[in-house]
Amino acid sequence: MALLPIVRLGHQALRKKSTPVSLSLLRTKKFQKFLDDLVATCVHANGAGIAAPQVGVNKRVIIVSVQLDNARYPSRPFFPSTIIVNPVVVERSKKLAQDWEGDLSAHLQGMVPRSISAVVRGLDRHGKLVIFRVKGFHARVFQHEIDHLDGFFFTDRMTRVETLAEI
């Protein structure tokens, strides 16, 4: 596996809507290697997740990975490294909670309101349907990463810009 370069805030890929991954592309050896590399990049960077646009690829793929030894999120609940292709939030709670979010593409963090629970549908790396019912921190990570696929950055969701700070 290779580590992919993470693009920085201002890169055009972060503001562009990503295109769905076809089953024929998903099944290629090259794309399967990209998925492995994206997981490795997320884990190496101590991210809770990463989206393909963060490595300059505008395809609808996210990784959620909250490791037990994650230096950035030591008290957050474990979530195994998981690939979700063409993810869609199909349901989200109306109740919101503010919490800190940061991003691998910027050395910034800020308070962002997000739904406290969500249901996300997508495909696994083999094209099989997967459904995630997530709450709390994991719901936040899923929503944050899916936002990247639609060209949104966490700062777009902030309601209290005075909380924006360098990490």
Element (H, E) at 122: strand 117-123
Active-site residue, from 91, 101, 145, 166: 145
Q: Which of 43, 48, 35, 150 is nearest to 89 (CA)?
A: 150
Determine the longest span between alpha carbons in the chain, in angstroms.
46
- Both structure tokens of 31: 């794309």
Other C-beta atoms closer than 10 Å to the C-beta of 114 total 24
145 is catalytic: yes
Q: Which tokens sit at 120? A: 């996300």
User: Taking CA 22 as the corner, what is the angle to CA 89 and CA 28, rounded to the nearest 5 degrees?
Assistant: 125
Distances (CA, A) of 133 to 31, 41, 129, 142: 27, 25, 14, 10
Active-site residue list: 145
